[in-house]
Amino acid sequence: MSLIVVRIGSAKDTSVLGQIQEAVSGELSPFSLEDITDWASVKKGYAQSTPRPNFSGAKDRAAVGVFTPKAAGLFIATGVALFLYFRYEKEKLHEKKLKEMEDKQLGKAHVGGPLSMTTHEGKIFTEKDLLGKWNLIYFGFTNCPDICPEELDKMSVAVTKLDKELGPIVQPIFISVDPARDSQEQIARYVSEFHPRMLGLTGDYAAVKAACKAYRVYFSTPPNTQPGDDYLVDHSIFFYLMDPDGQFVEAFSKASTVEDVAGRVKQEVAEWEQEHGRKV
């Protein structure tokens, strides 16, 4: 609460002056507006003693503030950094959930299941086509600006390295999560940029959704999109290693290196060979 003290009349007016002094000193004192007899003097004195605020200058300063070009750049950089950090944390959380989903009896995560897709060559592809070979499977979309190409490059380099050491026993697979734009022709051009044996799979929305559900992959497109629209698809950025029986073995995250992928595959192949007497 604020107290405004106004000097009224002459200092000889002891009744009003005394009440004001008591108020200033902290004492409570009844004060009636009826004690003020010269309102014209009060109004005139206030007008002469109160400086007029410069509202335009204050407004200009409020509008400009400290938002300089340098501050704007820092703001944008901070926003980008936060976006990347939270996306990374989202993937780590997803990876943690996958590990928590491990079956206590088999020691395997519940990843994988029925597939009904079409290859970039126009052939029908089901989960049975995964049998008899090791498979590395990545879900993404061809219009992805950075993450998908980076992960597919990593997967392709690892497969090339494994080809030289083990032979062509590992099949790289790309599954589109953007059926509205990723046609068979589009996917064919896309996978040719990575590995000569990379297989591209697509299908209608129902088939893609079922595949993503089976492999515990999340994907989300903006609502009301059209095939010609320019948009991004939010999706998981793991790729999975499946054994020759079509069973899940491992999920590789963005933090995994080529050496991590190749090393883990060689380890699994060696254990498989020891148990089954063959690499596949």
Looking at the 3D structure of the chain, how many domains does it have? 2
Work out whether strand 116-119 and strand 199-202 pair parallel, antiparallel, or are unpaired.
Answer: antiparallel
Q: Is residue 144 part of a domain?
A: yes
Asked if 241 contacts 136 with a C-beta cutoff of 8 angstroms, the reply is yes
CATH number reported for the structural domain that contains residue 154 in this entry: 3.40.30.10
Does 235 appear as a known binding residue?
Answer: yes
Any domain includes 65 = no
| 78 and 148 fall within a common domain | no
* Token pair in block for residue 151: 């992960």
* Contacts of 122 by beta carbon, 8 Å cutoff, 6+ apart: 184
DSSP 95-142: HHHHHHTB-TTT--BS-----EEEETTS-EEEGGGGTTSEEEEEEE-T
Q: Is 212 annotated as a binding residue?
A: no
Show Cβ contacts of residue 264 under 8 Å, excluding neighbours closer than 6 positions.
241, 250, 252
Whether residue 189 sits in one domain with residue 141: yes
Question: Cα(214)–Cα(111) distance, rounded to whole angstroms?
Answer: 6
Residues in the chain predicted with pLDDT less than 70, given as ranges, are 1-67, 92, 94-109
5 domain residue, yes or no: no
In a domain, 26, yes or no: no
- DSSP code, position 146: S
Last residue of a domain, one of 107, 129, 164: 107
What is the structure's pLDDT at 228?
A: 80
Please tell me whether residues 87 and 201 are part of one structural domain.
no
148 a known binding residue?
yes
What is the distance between the alpha carbons of residues 101 and 107, in angstroms, rounded to a whole number?
Answer: 9
Torsion of the alpha carbons at 113, 118, 119 and 125, rounded to the nearest 10:
40
The pLDDT of residue 1 is 47
**Domain shared by 177 and 97, yes or no:** no
Residue after which a domain boundary falls, among 82, 107, 132: 107
In angstroms, rounded to a whole number, what is the distance separating the alpha carbons of residues 188 and 132? Answer: 24
Indicate if 79 and 185 belong to the same structural domain: no
One domain, residues 234 and 152 = yes
Are 250 and 136 found together in one domain?
yes
- Buried b / exposed e across 151-171, counting CB within 10 Å, b at 16+? bbebbbbbbbbbeeebeebbb
Q: Which of 58, 83, 107 is the last residue of a domain?
A: 107
Do 168 and 267 fall within a single domain?
A: yes
Both 157 and 256 in a single domain? yes
Domain presence at residue 140: yes
What CA–CA distance (Å, rounded) separates 203 from 94?
25
**Residues 130, 269: one domain?**
yes
Provide the residue range defining the domain that includes 201. Answer: 116-276
